[in-house]
Amino acid sequence: MPTERKKKGSAKAAGKKTPAGTEPSESEIRERAYEISQLRGGEPGHELEDWLQAKRELGGDGKRS
């Protein structure tokens, strides 16, 4: 039986980005990716897309100048 995860970081889920010049933590990305997955209905097979979307939304797009 799957365990229910607590939703934390609702401000992050609302599209609030991390401060400029900082990367979001792995925990923040994980939580947002889980929320994205649940919004999509929890269908498996989209884990990478969810992770990358969460990272973009939180300001950690991986692009460095």
Q: Where are the beta strands (DSSP E) in 1-65?
A: none
Whether the full predicted model's pTM is greater than 0.75, yes or no, is: no
Whether the CB-CB separation of 38 and 56 falls below 8 Å is answered with no
Overall average pLDDT of the 29-38 stretch = 98
Report the mean per-residue pLDDT for the chain.
Answer: 78
Q: What is the pLDDT of residue 62?
A: 55
Residue written as token pair 């994205």: 36
